[in-house]
Homo-oligomer: A and B are copies of this chain.
């Protein structure tokens, strides 16, 4: 009855590491904005209501983590400024964002539905995440997924 997981260390858990970045209160909200094409400090601040200080910190952290990069730009008649764009590491967060969106839409949306959808560039149809195993089977039942120690697992001391 004792769960097998108890024998394994979590010190190098990649979920914990990912959540140290993504789990900060506003991080995914900032990323949602960037994925939406909102790349400038004040646009984000006005839309999200994030306090300036916090937004400054989040953006700096995301740049430091290599999820965003600061890109200089200049609009005619304005001085040089910076905007924030996704790096490849950042773009690879699409599945995370779509997964969170899917769950939120299912359980937390208003009756009139979600304010945001994501679509496929080619055919304009809605995009969702699916779970699939390496053998190509579609995994639709959450209970068909089993966790197990991976290659980097360490026994607990």
Contacts and interface: CB of A to CB of B under 8 A. Distances in A.
Nearest to A120: B133
Interface string A108-128: 111011111111111101111
Q: Is the interface of A mostly helix, strand, loop or mixed?
A: mixed
Contact of A96 (B24, B25, B27, B96): B96
Nearest to A67: B107
A18 B133 CA distance: 26
Contacts of A131: 94-95, 98, 127-130
A2 to B, nearest CB: 9
Contacts of A29: 13, 15-16, 19
What band does the interface of chain A fall in when counting residues whose beta carbon is under 8 Å from B? Answer: 35 or more
Given A3-B43, A5-B33, A123-B135, A103 B96 contact: yes
Interface of A: 3-6, 8-10, 12-19, 22-29, 32-33, 35-39, 43, 47-48, 66, 89, 91-110, 112-123, 125-135, 137, 139, 142-154
